[in-house]
A and B are shown apart, each in its own frame.
Chain A
């Protein structure tokens, strides 16, 4: 597969949330605000990309079994660094994200992409494409939940009392429904549907 195709597949055809249904924790837990979705998506992409670079650099020297521990160590280090940087520059955002920012280190999407065996250049393009696809979907989910649940668009009130917001959409159960409907829409558009991929 060409590098361009490897990059593009994460955006739609093999999107982590819509197609693979992995890394759903932030999609349900924290995307009641669109900004949270953008930030957490970008944070996940940065951590994934950094961990992929480390994996490429050390893959010559460590065995596959030890590689798993190297992955976990690099994920922990990069997540902690990002957590501290966010705390220094955006303390309010850090409070909003709560435990979900540290959980990037054990995000199923990140762990799954690290376990895929590919050449180094394809690995980087895959991480970039998948990360951007993940960020895009988290943002869309955030926009829908924020608009329906709070009547806002990126923090700006747009309904102005003309329609009562449906606050359930901003809760985790509301997130389950919205993510479920989005995946069903994706299935309908792409002609998929059926069993869950392992």
Chain B
């Protein structure tokens, strides 16, 4: 129980994929236009990550332990998990989506989670909970940033800061707020 909470705190706060590892920035900039889009991207990431981690568990004996040889396997697993959920969820999300969610199925955050799986991590359900914790952290940040972005639209931001700059600086402030938990 404590281990699970510790893992969740790690994934959501202290080792957050977006805020402290700089992964999934494409999603941070493109999928936070509304809370609904952010929630969909978060759901996709959660499903794809858990599936990918389950595949890592299932194919553990086939994957080489040599890190440099692991890369093609991790990419293949991420691609398979992403494509599976893309086929399954694309009709549900509909075609009127303001952004193309295809990029959410195969992104740096998903591959990053697989590449960062610690060597000594026990296999089995723990690896799935590892993936889940990090994907939840990713989703929470997307949804918070979508909320911040909605508020930012109401204020008068200087023109050069509109768009990407103000979003990155807001993400930095959110990261600083959580940074205290890392100390």
Contacts and interface: CB of A to CB of B under 8 A. Distances in A.
Contacts of A107: 108
Nearest to A193: B159
Contacts of A196: 29-30, 163-164, 167
A102 B115 contact: yes
Given A102-B115, A193-B160, A22 B169 contact: no
B159 to A, nearest CB: 4
A80 B68 contact: yes
Contacts of A136: none
Per DSSP, are chain A's interface residues mostly helix, strand or loop, or mixed? helix
Contacts, number: 130
A36 to B, nearest CB: 12
29 contacts: A24-B25, A24-B26, A25-B23, A26-B22, A29-B21, A72-B79, A76-B71, A79-B71, A102-B74, A103-B115, A106-B108, A108-B26, A108-B107, A172-B20, A172-B175, A173-B20, A175-B22, A177-B168, A180-B161, A180-B164, A180-B169, A184-B165, A187-B162, A192-B160, A193-B162, A194-B163, A196-B164, A198-B99, A198-B100
A62 interface: no
Contacts of B148: none
A185 B116 CA distance: 34
B90 interface: no
A180 B116 contact: no
Contacts of A84: 68
Contacts of A106: 75, 78, 106-108, 111
Interface in A138-174: 171-174
A110 to B, nearest CB: 11
A198 B68 CA distance: 33
B29 A21 contact: yes
A99 interface: yes
A187 B29 contact: no
A26 to B, nearest CB: 8
B165 A195 contact: no
